[in-house]
């Protein structure tokens, strides 16, 4: 008889954002006359930059002529996009990343979920808490953890991010093999300094570990002292994989484009201790299970690296950071301590109370949706995440409602 993958049975009943959607939908159905402002999930609201729209139109026109039509493209991505990424995102920052070390994909979420396939079943995991749920759930699905006991899965070394450490976890005292890091962080909005990242690279080199570095929000960094890439740290090419996305950088949540960097100098080991380049393993997986990103989408992504594209995407990010500044100032005036909002689009608000209770309070009294911190892990309890992704009008209205509801 056919059997299921029983590791799925270890997962919590549903995904965090599905739980939120159910509660919001139930509220809307019961209160049809009340408008709800959503500052929960990290979906963008503003249109694509004009340069991207122009590139999409031009690429679509190309598909209508035999001489310029594109069929199957390279699974790793077209050279014009990979070259632009290597030049503008890495060489410009002194990072020695070659174009053929970049793999274009349809989303960083997909990549961070799929990348664990190339690692052994029994690798020792180190994952932050609080954390983007995909890091944990995909490893549960793969069978790398034990059951969930009191909100945590057995077999994971949890890297606690708390007010005491500024929401930037320290390296663990035990050896681990596969380490997930995200900076600027989702959900906390915290950023890691060069010294902190250097400590992680040194730890990984010492233990022959691999860091999965999620830098999907690097475009929001405004502090010139904060690294945008793990490869700005000496030795990172030997221990780190970096994941990036155009979703937040240029509003591609509806068009889907991202990329993963795997240096050719990065290796992992088989049971006999022999080294294997991870670049080759991921290339094999990528070409077997991925069809590539559509040509017009890649042309639109490449457009952000033009002079006009750089200015337009910066303006877009500045707009969301303006929202974040308003949220941070408003929540601070209400007496809450906050992290994020200056180098990240998220505000991590220390509410001092049950996070789902605070979620329900804002939904029912203010008709504003946030994200309860408990959904991101044990250390998220007592916090909520508020997203800056919305119109200025909606953000201002939401903050006025929150202020009235919390009086």
- pLDDT-above-70 percentage for the chain: 100
Residue 247 to residues 103, 257, 273, 346, Cα–Cα distance (Å): 16, 7, 39, 15
Could you give the CA distance from residue 49 to residue 158 in angstroms, rounded to a whole number? 39
* Average pLDDT for 332-350: 97
pLDDT over threshold 70, residue 403: yes
pLDDT over threshold 90, residue 13: no
Token pair in block for residue 188: 């906390």
Bin 367: left if φ > 0, else alpha if -120 < ψ < 50, else beta: left
* Average pLDDT for 238-249: 97
Q: Which residue has the tokens 């909100």?
A: 151
Could you give the CA distance from residue 330 to residue 131 in angstroms, rounded to a whole number? 25
Q: Where are the alpha helices (DSSP H) in 229-383?
A: 246-250, 278-289, 295-302, 307-333, 355-361
Sheet holding 337-340, edge to edge: 337-340, 346-350, 383-387, 371-372
The set of residues, in sequence order, having a beta carbon less than 8 Å from that of 137 and lying 6+ positions away, is 11, 15
Residue 291: HSE in the Cβ half-sphere, 13 Å Cα cutoff = 4
pLDDT over threshold 70, residue 14: no
What domains are there in the chain, each with its CATH number? 6-47+308-405 (3.90.1150.10), 53-306 (3.40.640.10)
The candidate with the shortest Cα–Cα distance to 108, out of 298, 261, 263, is: 261
Question: Is beta strand 125-129 parallel, antiparallel or unpaired with respect to 178-182?
Answer: parallel
8-state DSSP, 117: G
Token pair in block for residue 80: 């014009």
The candidate with the shortest Cα–Cα distance to 210, out of 277, 153, 146, is: 277
Could you give the CA distance from residue 310 to residue 321 in angstroms, rounded to a whole number? 16
Contact predicate 179/210, CB 8 Å: yes
Residue 216 to residues 111, 355, 365, Cα–Cα distance (Å): 12, 25, 33
Residue pLDDT, tens place only, 50-81: 999 999 999 999 999 999 999 999 999 999 99
Could you give the CA distance from residue 124 to residue 45 in angstroms, rounded to a whole number? 38
Distance of CA 229 to the CA centre of its chain: 14
Token pair in block for residue 90: 């890495």
Could you give the CA distance from residue 27 to residue 358 in angstroms, rounded to a whole number? 15
pLDDT over threshold 80, residue 90: yes
Distance of CA 400 to the CA centre of its chain: 29
Among 12-26, 33-47, 115-129, 157-171, the minimum mean pLDDT is found in: 12-26
- State the CB neighbour count (10 A cutoff) for residue 190: 23
In this prediction, residue 231 carries a pLDDT of 98
The candidate with the shortest Cα–Cα distance to 188, out of 247, 129, 107, is: 129
- pLDDT-above-90 percentage for the chain: 95
In this prediction, residue 19 carries a pLDDT of 85
Q: What angle do CA 205, 208, 210 make, to 5 degrees?
A: 85
The candidate with the shortest Cα–Cα distance to 98, out of 210, 261, 215, 243, is: 261
Contact predicate 220/248, CB 8 Å: yes
* Average pLDDT for 26-49: 93
pLDDT over threshold 80, residue 215: yes
DSSP-assigned states of every residue in 189-203: -----HHHHHHHHHH
Strand partners, 160: 129
pTM: 0.96
In this prediction, residue 369 carries a pLDDT of 96
Q: Which contiguous run of DSSP H or E holds residue 51?
A: helix 50-62
Q: Which residue has the tokens 């509410």?
A: 351
Could you give the CA distance from residue 351 to residue 105 in angstroms, rounded to a whole number? 37
* Average pLDDT for 182-195: 98
């Amino acid at each position: 008889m056919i059997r299921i993958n029983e590791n799925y049975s270890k997962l919590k009943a549903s995904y965090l954002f599905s739980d939120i959607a159910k509660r919001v939908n139930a509220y809307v159905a019961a209160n049809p006359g009340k408008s709800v402002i959503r500052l929960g999930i990290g979906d963008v609201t503003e249109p694509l930059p004009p340069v991207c729209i122009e590139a999409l139109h031009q690429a679509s026109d190309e598909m209508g002529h035999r001489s310029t039509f594109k069929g199957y493209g390279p699974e790793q991505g077209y050279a014009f996009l990979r070259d632009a990424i290597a030049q503008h995102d890495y060489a410009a920052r002194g990072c020695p990343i070659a174009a053929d070390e970049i793999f274009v994909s349809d989303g960083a979420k997909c990549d961070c979920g799929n990348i664990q396939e190339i690692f052994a079943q029994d690798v020792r995991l180190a994952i932050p808490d609080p954390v983007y749920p995909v890091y944990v759930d995909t490893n549960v699905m793969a069978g790398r953890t034990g059951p969930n006991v009191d909100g945590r899965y057995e077999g994971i070394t949890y890297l606690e991010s708390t007010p005491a450490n500024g929401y930037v976890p320290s390296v663990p005292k035990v050896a681990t093999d596969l380490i997930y890091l995200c900076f600027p962080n989702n959900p906390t909005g915290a950023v890691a300094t060069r010294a902190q990242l250097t400590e992680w690279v040194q730890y990984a080199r010492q233990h022959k570990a691999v860091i999965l570095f999620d830098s999907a929000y690097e475009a929001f960094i405004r502090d010139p002292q904060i690294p945008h890439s793990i490869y700005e740290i000496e030795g990172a090419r030997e221990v780190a994989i970096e994941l990036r996305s155009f979703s937040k950088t240029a509003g591609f949540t509806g068009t889907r484009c991202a990329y993963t960097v795997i240096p050719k100098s990065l290796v992992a080991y088989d049971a006999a201790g022999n080294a294997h380049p991870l670049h080759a393993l991921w290339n094999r997986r990528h070409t077997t299970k991925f069809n590539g990103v559509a040509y017009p989408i890649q042309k639109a992504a490449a457009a952000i690296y033009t002079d006009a594209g750089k200015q337009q995407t910066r303006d877009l990010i500045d707009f969301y950071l303006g929202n974040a500044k308003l949220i941070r100032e408003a929540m601070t005036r209400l007496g809450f301590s906050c992290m994020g909002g200056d180098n990240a689009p998220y505000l991590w608000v220390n509410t001092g109370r049950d996070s789902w209770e605070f979620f329900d309070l804002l939904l029912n009294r203010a008709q504003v949706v946030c994200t309860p911190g408990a959904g991101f892990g044990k250390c998220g309890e007592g916090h909520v995440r508020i997203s800056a992704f919305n119109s200025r009008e909606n953000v201002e209205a939401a903050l006025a409602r929150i202020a009235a509801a919390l009086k």
